[in-house]
Amino acid sequence: MWLLATDTLDFIHVMNPENYKFAILSHTWGDEEVSYQDMSDLARARRKKGFQKIEKTCEIARNRGLQYTWIDTCCIDKTSSAELSEAINSMYRWYQLSEVCFTYLSDFQDDITVMTNDFGKCRWFSRGWTLQELIAPRTAEFYSCTWQLIGDKISMASLLASAADIDTKVLLGETRLSKIPVAVKMSWAAKRKTTRVEDAAYCLLGIFDINMPMLYGEGHKAFYRLQQMILQETHDLSLFAWRQDPTSTRRYRGIFADAPAEFSDTFKDFEKDSRPRIHDTVLTSRGLEIETIIGTLANKSALVIPLTQLPNPQAIQIQRIGTSFVRSCPETIHNFECSVERRVKRIHIKTLISPDEDEELLNKQHPGVRLEFVLPKEWFKRVIDCGPSWAWDSYEECFVTQFRNQYVGYVEFAIANYKFSPPLETNFLALFCHHRHRWPNATEDPLEITLASGGWVDKIKSWLLEKRNEIESTMLSPHDLYLFEDSPFSRQYHVERASMNENRMLGWFPDYGRYPDYGSSNTPAQTPIDNTKSEISVTWRDGGNLEDHKLIIEVVQEEMGLLESMGNSLMRRYTVYV
């Protein structure tokens, strides 16, 4: 650290600034500032406009009995990247160590009567670097454009708090920064500007007690790096409590904000959650890995995750895209107490999504297959297995097929009725085969899939492959559904098929020796079929009560209406009734 002698204007290099008493200057840069190199020729330096600030700072400091001062324009050799990086990472601490900070407001006049109205309009309150220069010093004095003393930090605390939108307890050092939520600290910088894009992040290092290398030229990546560093140092998820500008057309974002400006609407009363998280958050190649509670909004229109473990937490909306999640509706912050159907889940959330990626995701995220359950209140469903796992959204209960020309997926589920004794529970497997071609014996075999379950599912797979030729010969529709019923009270498996142009039973295959035959009734559905709708049904009988039950899956094909260029963009909705 270079300190400037207030009497000789010579530099001294110090390794431990805490051993020296020095004043420090806070100001906004203007024309003809004096650099470290300029100070080697004082005659040349005096000809620059910025020298007056150096001269006046040294004069006031000498009158206070201080031998040294530090001024950012001339006390950093900016031709040395190492020295510049050290200075930026240490600057907050230097302001803390100073005996007094002289704050020079170059655009504030001497008329004290207009202070209340005009004080907050000073350029000093709009710059990024001056934020830490307001908070860090223990003692600070404010001077007008003619170097007339306006007041000090204590006497002007309320005025400063109003102008900077920061709590007076923070300004006076009565509340430690570590106790303030990340989102609130970000909001302090939301309306401040920096000349260089990278400085929007670098000027906040001291506020968050973060050290990181300076990489001028990286642009907005600097702010992303800052958020990554903050996440490594704290479990405060208010880091994600940002809002996108409502005028933006971007629908999907990563978990990180683009700039401090997106924290401008953060709740100032955001309470810091000091309780440690049970599970750490980890940054991976797939994004942020986090174990969290996921809730569904009351109207089941979206998924949300809370940002604290406190009562009545704020929450952000997420949506599954493939194997990861993204932030959806990024202009909105929800109240998590309004959510229902909560569950704990370990998920991955993408950290960054570019505008181009957002447009691509918008075109691909719509489900190709949606499974809905409409059951009487005494009936319950349980999803046992599904595949492919990358495409199945267990919260939305849909397959995100991303407009693949060929697609095969399956869902194994159980339908249970607990009013019976013993309880009735029957397993079903729905196999969805979607085909864009309209010719038999296609070269790509849609039945070549891997079913993860054991036992009866493996037998179904083998049976399907044996029936491949028969099945392929009738593949004339845009989609097909195969329903397999595995009743614990039946000695045989049962399979039915529904498509747009036919609905028929494909057959049975036995599994002797499992359970006694209680007389399962399997009747193919005879529902009329049109171009958009069909249904399939299976009737089965429980063993204890000999009561028939019918499971119906209604198939509806809908135009998605996304992009005209997508042409045959269809979504299939399967609704399960009992």
Residue 224 lies in a domain: no
372 and 502 in one domain? yes
Is the Cβ–Cβ distance between 280 and 292 less than 8 Å?
Answer: no
3-state secondary structure of 427: strand
Residues 310 and 340 in one domain: yes
Residue 43, both tokens: 């005659």
Tokens of residue 382, six digits: 């349980």
Is 8 part of a structural domain of the chain? yes
Q: Are residues 484 and 395 in the same domain?
A: yes
Q: Are residues 468 and 540 in the same domain?
A: yes
In the block, tokens 């991303």 appear at 402
Q: Are residues 253 and 280 in the same domain?
A: yes
Task: Indicate whether 205 belongs to any domain.
Answer: no
Domain count, the chain: 3
CB 271 within 8 Å of CB 184? no
Domain match, 419 and 464 both: yes
Among the three residues 334, 357, 380, which one is the final residue of a domain in this structure?
Answer: 357
pLDDT score for 458: 58
pTM score of the predicted model: 0.72
Of 150, 154, 156, 152, nearest in space to 141 by CA: 152
Residue 443 lies in a domain: yes
Q: What is the pLDDT of residue 451?
A: 46
343 and 416 part of one domain: no
Domain range spanning residue 507? 366-577
Clarify whether residues 320 and 379 are in a common domain: no
- The series of mean pLDDT values per 10 residues for the chain, 578 residues long, is 96 95 97 96 95 97 97 96 95 97 92 69 96 98 95 95 94 94 95 97 97 95 97 91 92 94 78 60 90 78 82 86 85 79 83 81 64 80 75 72 61 77 72 53 40 51 53 47 60 50 42 33 38 60 59 61 33 67
- Determine contact, residues 141/27, Cβ cutoff 8 Å: no
Q: Which of 158, 175, 192 is the last residue of a domain?
A: 175
**Is it true that the peptide bond before 422 is cis, omega within 30 degrees of 0?**
yes
pLDDT value at position 358? 74
Q: What angle do CA 103, 106, 112 make, to 5 degrees?
A: 80
Burial 60-90 (b: 16+ CB within 10 A, else e): bbeeeebbbbbbbbbbbbeeeeeebbebbbb
- CA 40 distance to own-chain centroid: 50
Q: Is residue 198 in a domain? A: no
- Quick check: is 220 in a domain? no
**Are residues 404 and 515 located together in one domain of the fold?**
yes
**Pair (454, 511) in one structural domain:** yes
Same domain for 135 and 240, yes or no, is no
Structural domain ending residue among the three candidates 357, 379, 410: 357
Q: Is residue 279 part of a domain?
A: yes
Q: Which residues lie across from 534 on neighbouring strands?
A: 555
Residue 208 domain flag: no
Same domain, 120 and 10: yes
pLDDT, position 480: 62
